[in-house]
Amino acid sequence: MSVDRPPATMTEIAAALGVSSATVSNALSGKGRVSAELSAKIRQAAEELGYVPSHAARALRTGRTGVIGLVLPDISNPLFPQIAQAIEQAAASAGFGVLIADSRGEIAQQTAAIGRLIERGVDGMIVVPRRGSRIADIGTPVAIIDSPSTPGNTVSSDHWDGGVQMGRHLASLGHRKVLLIAHSRESNVQNDRIGGLRAGLGKEVCCETLWVEDLEASKGAGCALGLSVRVADGFTGFAAVYDLLALRALTELQRDGIDVPLQASVSGFDDLVWSSVVMPPITTLRQDLATIAECAVEALGHAIADSEASAGDLIAARPDCEGVPMTLMVRQSTGPAAISVVSDAGNAREDGR
Amino acid sequence: MSVDRPPATMTEIAAALGVSSATVSNALSGKGRVSAELSAKIRQAAEELGYVPSHAARALRTGRTGVIGLVLPDISNPLFPQIAQAIEQAAASAGFGVLIADSRGEIAQQTAAIGRLIERGVDGMIVVPRRGSRIADIGTPVAIIDSPSTPGNTVSSDHWDGGVQMGRHLASLGHRKVLLIAHSRESNVQNDRIGGLRAGLGKEVCCETLWVEDLEASKGAGCALGLSVRVADGFTGFAAVYDLLALRALTELQRDGIDVPLQASVSGFDDLVWSSVVMPPITTLRQDLATIAECAVEALGHAIADSEASAGDLIAARPDCEGVPMTLMVRQSTGPAAISVVSDAGNAREDGR
DNA sequence: CCAAGGTGATTAATCGTTTAACCAACCATA
DNA sequence: TATGGTTGGTTAAACGATTAATCACCTTGG
């Protein structure tokens, strides 16, 4: 590998071949008019001299940095790695770099982070908004990954349908009394999932939603969810709205001596890394983050290209991939419902199996 | 908020005040000789006109982009969010942007990712290497976060000492037969932790290491660890080398009807988000990632500044913060050892409590 | 034979900052 | 009154790529 000779510039290539630097630029970008043979020679020379384009110079001249910003809410979200990975990959193959901005904490931080990105001259940004927050209209293309029910959303999983899938899965296992476990009422994603779950479970299933946020407000963060009481009450299914809550439910049930899935089923959303290695592995829904990332980057790319022409609209919209399907990962944390004392007689109606 | 008028340039400020652009530059950077009053006027004008420096132009002129790269191994590492967050924060307050590069998969990917970063013109990079991989000498300052025992390491937690702390904790609870659970023999971090644990547990404690990697090679990924057998064998402590393994151990034990911490204690490393919300919450060691990030960024900053002067050494080294202490988070997954059938009579000797 | 059009390349300006070099005052010292 | 040092500023040349404008030359059609 060539040692650290400072990389060649277009001017140097031009000088080496006795042509003008404009010709080199044209040949390499394929834009102007250059004869095929000269173009080939230039390309070869560029290769040999180890030409590396100067992003700084290009950015200065064209006003485009080739970098997009990635703004994530509360970075502690365990899904972050997968999102970041997917976006980085999609962006890289579209020729973009990804600058991260953490918007930990309050919404003000999110705004500040966005500001920093703009100052750095990103061409656009992808934002996974904090629940309940709206992105102000900044003078830069933005793609938003949130939920189909969020106005301005660009691309996201079909959380509702995911809920439906899980609901059907649980219903088909015979569960007739299910506790839905969510955290925040403000989250569109969580609301979608809850709605889907209810729809998927159907009318015959009795279900109730436990908002952990409310519970923690009175009993303190990390408090017990009191699930064994629910089991005693006849609940056999516990459908959490994301894996972290599912894990919390699972361990609490296990600690209280309740067997999962024999006595109670537990399900989650997102398929986080550990979901498959705990005992029992958690039944959950996997988001197709690769597709989402591709859509987001593509939409953003279009918006960036368009913003050159018409400086009008600023939010990239792409309706055709607003609801990327999630896939159900059935594992061992869900199983046939235990014989419930509460369940009524007519349980054979519409048996899904 | 001012709408989208293209931000003012130095030249415009200069024109507005009837001075030269060089003077504006000097006033704003505080470098050249400018009278105090003119300097103030320029600063004010800059403020009023909404001046935003062009990073691109500056980068072109100075050869510095003000951006550092962050290369992470296998992004699925659940610690990633916290690292990224800490680095981003430290970098932001040092005036750097952070470009991410995922090096998922093989070492080749890591090299490719590094290459992309270099092409983008990062001033330096922070690498959390894949276990067992060495970073080739690229022509850019690099700070490495790995383990004190890794040659070339720049800054990291004192994993060994963390192990010692946890070992002492378990020993003081009376555990005399402890299973150490690790994943890969190639990981310096894991080896350090194991070493520290053994040291902290002391001579009197019988301990054995379970390498999950080996186990999975024969029994498949995500297989059971067979811990209940160990409990029957007299093991009362299960010290995992990171929280994911601890969680795996915890759920497996619970599933098998073993009460944690009454019958067995479980501990981990890293204090991941969920460690505190599972039941029981996991006793673990928290890394001081803020400090590590600051050290890394600072070291990198020095290396970048120095690389200007002497283009000699390329790896940023900073011995004085190679072993950032970890703090023990005692929670409910560890408790006094159950009465062990195997433990010998003289168990009152050197009781730490 | 001349105007028109196409081809393949060059010239030179430009993006916004930084910085070395230069210059015009002004003050003090010899 | 020359000489030399400060002070406060200006000029102009970079940095490297892009691109509109221009040019020389060749072909073709009328």
Residue type, A73: P
Closest to B276 in 3D by CA, of A216, A164, A186: A216
User: In whole angstroms, how large is the CA radius of gyration of chain B?
Assistant: 26
Q: Taking the CA atoms of A77, A82, A88 and A90 in sequence, report the sign of the dihedral they define.
A: negative
| Count of other CB atoms within 10 angstroms of residue A182 | 23
Helices (H), chain A: 10-17, 21-29, 36-49, 55-62, 80-93, 107-119, 159-172, 188-201, 212-219, 227-232, 243-255, 289-309
Contact (Cβ atoms closer than 8 angstroms) between residue B231 and residue B202? no
Which bases of strand D have any atom within 7 Å of the beta carbon of a protein residue?
A: 7-12, 14-21
Report the range of poorest mean pLDDT among A325-334, B171-180, B302-311: B302-311
Contact present, A68 and A122 (Cβ < 8 Å) = yes
Distance from CA of A26 to the nearest CA of B (A): 20
pLDDT reading at B349 higher than 50: no
Here the tokens at position B80 are: 């990633």
Question: Apex CA B102: angle with CA A118 and CA B278, to 5°?
Answer: 95
Residue-level pLDDT at A1: 45
Instruction: Select the residue of B98, B120, B260 nearest A100 (Cβ to Cβ).
Output: B98
Q: What is the mean pLDDT of residues B132-145?
A: 79
Least Cα separation, residue A63 to chain B (angstroms):
8
A260 and B255 within 8 Å at the Cβ level: the answer is yes
Cβ contact B26 with chain C strand, < 7 A: yes
Q: How far is B66 from chain A (nearest CA, A)?
A: 9
Q: Which has more pLDDT, B287 or A346?
A: B287
User: Tell me, what's the pLDDT at A4?
Assistant: 55
Q: How confident is the model at residue A307 (pLDDT cuts 50, 70, 90)?
A: confident
Is the predicted pLDDT of residue B73 greater than 70, yes or no?
Answer: yes
pLDDT > 90: what percent of chain A? 69
Query: Which pLDDT belongs to residue A2?
Result: 43
How high is the mean pLDDT of chain B?
Answer: 88
- Per-residue pLDDT of A219-245, as tens digits, reads 999 899 999 999 999 999 999 999 999
Q: In CATH terms, is domain B159-286 a member of 3.40.50.2300?
A: yes
**Cβ-nearest to A251 among B100, B222, B250:** B250
- Mean pLDDT across A259-279: 96
Distance in angstroms, CA of A44 to C1' of D29? Answer: 40
Closest-approach nucleotide to residue B10, Cα vs C1': C16
Chain A residue numbers touching B2 (CB-CB < 8 A): none
Could you tell me whether strands A327-329 and A284-286 are parallel, antiparallel, or unpaired per DSSP bridges?
antiparallel
Residue A306 CA and nucleotide D22 C1' are separated, in Å, by 31
**Which residue is associated with the tokens 């024969």?**
B218
Which residue of B75, B222, B277 is in closest CB contact with A276?
B222
DSSP 3-state assignment of B113? helix
pLDDT of B192 above 90: yes
Domain ranges in chain B are 10-53, 67-157+289-326, 159-286
Beta bridge partners of A69: A99, A125
CATH topology of domain B67-157+289-326: Rossmann fold (3.40.50)
CB contact at 8 A, B124 and B316: yes
Each as own residue / partner, the long-range contacts of residues B302-308 (CB below 8 Å, 24 or more positions apart, any chain) are B303/B124, B303/B141, B303/B142, B303/B143, B304/B64, B304/B123, B304/B124, B304/B141, B307/B124, B307/B141
Q: Residue B109 carries which side chain, given as an amino acid letter?
A: Q
Helices (H), A220-336: 227-232, 243-255, 289-309
Mean pLDDT lowest for which of A77-86, A187-196, B261-270? A77-86
* pLDDT band with cut points at 50, 70 and 90 for residue B352: very low
| Chain A residue nearest residue B69, CA to CA | A99
Out of A272-286, B139-153, B228-242, B320-334, least confident range: B139-153
Q: Is B159-286 the same fold as B10-53?
A: no
Give me the CA A36–C1' D28 separation in Å, rounded.
24
Mean of the per-residue pLDDT values for chain A?
Answer: 88
3-state helix, strand, coil in chain B (%, to 5): 40, 15, 40
Reply yes or no on whether the pLDDT at A345 is more than 70: no
B86-128, pLDDT tens digit by residue?
A: 999 999 999 999 999 877 767 777 888 888 899 899 999 999 8
Q: Are A263 and A231 in contact (CB under 8 A)?
A: yes
Candidate from A4, A259, A278 with C-beta closest to B251: A278
Most confident of A132-141, A235-244, B75-84, B298-307: A235-244
- Report whether pLDDT(B346) > 50: no
To probe the interface with B, which of A5, A10, A82, A88 has the most B CB atoms within 10 Å?
Answer: A88
Query: Quick one: chain A helix, strand, coil %, rounded to 5?
Result: 40, 15, 40
Closest CB to B102: pick one of A77, A89, A104: A89
Output the pLDDT for position B136. Answer: 67
Residue in A89, A251, A277 closest to B254 by CB:
A251
Q: How far apart are CA B321 and CA A198, in angstroms?
A: 53
Query: In terms of C-beta density within 10 A (0-12 exposed, 13-18 middle, 19 or more buried), how is residue B77 classed?
Result: middle
> Could you tell me which of A305, A252, A243, A311 has the C-alpha nearest to residue A276?
A243
Q: Is the CB of B54 under 7 A from strand C?
A: yes
| CA nearest neighbour of B67 among B94, B49, B29 | B94
Q: Which nucleotide is nearest to A26 (CA to C1')?
A: D18
User: What does the pLDDT read at residue A265?
Assistant: 98
Distance A186 CA to D28 C1' (A): 73
* Between A130 and B68, residue with greater pLDDT: B68
* A237-240 and A206-211 strand pairing: unpaired
Q: Which of A290-299 are b and which e, b meaning 16 or more Cβ less than 10 Å from the residue's Cβ?
A: ebbbbbbbbb
**Residues of A with Cβ-Cβ distance to B275 under 8 angstroms:** none
State, as a whole number of angstroms, the distance between the CA of B36 and the C1' of C25.
18
User: Chain A residue with minimal CA distance to B99?
Assistant: A99
Gap between the Cα atoms of B272 and B284, Å rounded = 9
Identity of residue A105: G
Chain B positions in Cβ-Cβ contact with residue A272 (cut-off 8 Å): 78
**Cβ of A29 near strand C (distance < 7 A):** no
- For A271 and D15, how far is CA from C1' in angstroms? 49
A61-65, A210-214, A296-300, A341-345: least confident range: A341-345
Q: Using the 8-state DSSP alphabet, how is residue B51 labeled?
A: B
The residue in chain B having the minimum alpha-carbon distance to the alpha carbon of residue A139 is B4
Where residue A350 falls among pLDDT bands split at 50, 70, 90?
very low
Shortest Cα distance from A203 to chain B (angstroms)? 32
pLDDT of residue A343: 40
| pLDDT in the model for residue B80 | 82
Query: What pLDDT sits at residue B342?
Result: 44
Residue A152 has pLDDT above 50, yes or no: yes
CA of B61 to C1' of D14 (A): 8
pLDDT band for position A295 (cuts 50, 70, 90): very high
Give percent above pLDDT 70 in chain B: 88
CA distance A61 to chain B (A): 9
B165/B289 Cα distance (integer angstroms): 18
Pairwise CB contact (< 8 Å): A277 & B248 = yes
Per-residue pLDDT reduced to its tens digit, A2-52 = 445 678 999 999 999 999 999 999 999 998 899 999 999 999 999 999 999
Quote the pLDDT of residue B320: 62
Length of chain B: 353
Please answer yes or no on whether A54 and B121 come within 8 Å at the CB atom. yes
Among chain B residues, CA nearest to A263: B255
CA B196, distance to chain mean position in Å, is 19
Q: Is the dihedral of CA B323, B324, B329, B330 positive or negative?
A: positive
Q: Is the Cβ atom of A34 within 7 Å of strand C at any atom?
A: yes
CATH 1.10.260 fits B10-53, yes or no: yes
The pair of structure tokens assigned to A40 is: 């080939």
Best residue in B88, B248, B315 for a mutation probing chain A (most A CBs within 10 Å): B88
Per-residue pLDDT at A74 exceeds 90: no
Classify the phi-psi angles of A47: left when phi > 0, otherwise alpha if psi is within -120 to 50, otherwise beta. Answer: alpha
Nearest residue of chain B to residue A5 (CA atoms) = B139
